[in-house]
Amino acid sequence: MAKVALVTGGASGLGLAVATSLASKGWKISIADLSENSGSAAASSLRGIFHKTNVTDYTSLSTAFQKTFDEFGQIDFVFANAGIVERDSFYKKFPSSGPPPPPDMLSVDIDLKSVIATGYLAQHYMRLNPHGKGGVLVSTSSVGGIYPAPFCPMYSAAKHGVIGFTRSVAKHFYLHDKIRANAILPGTMKTALLSEKEWQTFGETEWTPIEKVVEVVEMLIDEKDNHWGKTVEISGGDHFFREQAEYCNASMRKVMEATDIEQI
């Protein structure tokens, strides 16, 4: 039986590239994206299905999962990939002596909160898979998730959060439900996340090819490698497994290991 992939942000860019590659290998594809025209066209070209999805709305996101499961009877891979970069300056000055307007937190809603909700739903539906083999969750973080990004601090904070979420759930997901959770940390890619003007700030050697990121995603999906709890930085044509920070001392190790759900 063909395997099934659900891809958020799958109508363009990296999401579409991963969906296209998997479809070429015989996977059935479900695209969840806010762009109806692009999403429908992508799904049609891949002989998959499309669900217009607002990933920041739990009902909309959960409906995409339910319809995918109803259509195919299983979900083997979820790519939590939808993302944006904040466009308003966090450092903007306001003349009034009163409180400034609230910051636009949409990047946090999409880049972190929706990733958590996607992981939550992946856990549920992969538990229902009739083959009992769990599945794979790959979440898109960024190199801005391990390095500071002053231009887009909320984006960077959200991407740091994706790494923390992945590392925190990975052990329980794997030991209890055979779900392998990993995160990718791509460098700058030529996608709609940046404008063409912003593209000009980078030299050719500073780009990370989308094809390389697709290769890493498929490496994480591959059952024979059995990767789980990994965070993989991707720069240019190279990838690097990034380990969590070392504990400062034995006491801190004990404190943090006490948060293991198996100990509670």
pTM of the model as a whole: 0.94
No. of helices (H) and no. of strands (E), the chain: 9, 8
What is the C-alpha to C-alpha distance for residues 233 and 117, in angstroms, rounded to an integer? Answer: 23
C-beta of residue 5 within 8 angstroms of C-beta of residue 19: yes
What is the C-alpha to C-alpha distance for residues 85 and 110, in angstroms, rounded to an integer? Answer: 10
Contacts with 7 (C-beta within 8 Å, 6 or more apart), sequence order? 15, 16, 18, 19, 29, 30, 31, 32, 78, 79, 81
Q: Is the sign of the CA dihedral 9, 14, 18, 21 positive or negative?
A: positive
User: Beta-carbon neighbour count of residue 215 at 10 Å?
Assistant: 14
- Identity (one letter) of the amino acid at 239? H
C-beta of residue 8 within 8 angstroms of C-beta of residue 29: no
In the set 155, 171, 224, 230, the catalytic residue is 155
Which SS3 state, helix, strand or coil, does residue 6 take? strand
pLDDT tens per residue, range 160-213? 999 999 999 999 999 999 999 999 999 988 666 666 666 666 666 678 999 999
120 is an active site residue: no
Residue written as token pair 């946090």: 108
User: What value does the mean pLDDT take over residues 256-264?
Assistant: 81
113 is an active site residue: no
Would the pLDDT of 107 be above 80?
A: yes
pLDDT tens per residue, range 210-246? 999 999 999 999 988 899 999 999 999 999 999 999 9
What is the C-alpha to C-alpha distance for residues 5 and 168, in angstroms, rounded to an integer? Answer: 23
pLDDT at 2: 93
Range of the domain at 226: 4-91+99-263
What is the C-alpha to C-alpha distance for residues 141 and 159, in angstroms, rounded to an integer? Answer: 5
If phi > 0 it is left, if psi is from -120 to 50 it is alpha, else beta; for residue 259 that is alpha
- Identity (one letter) of the amino acid at 41? A
pLDDT tens per residue, range 43-82? 999 999 999 999 999 999 999 999 999 999 999 999 999 9
CATH of the domain at 125: 3.40.50.720
User: What is the pairing mode between strands 231-235 and 179-186?
Assistant: parallel
In the set 3, 28, 159, 212, the catalytic residue is 159
What is the tally of structural domains in the chain?
1
Please choose, from the candidates 116, 129, 135, the residue with its C-alpha nearest in 3D space to the C-alpha of residue 58. Answer: 116
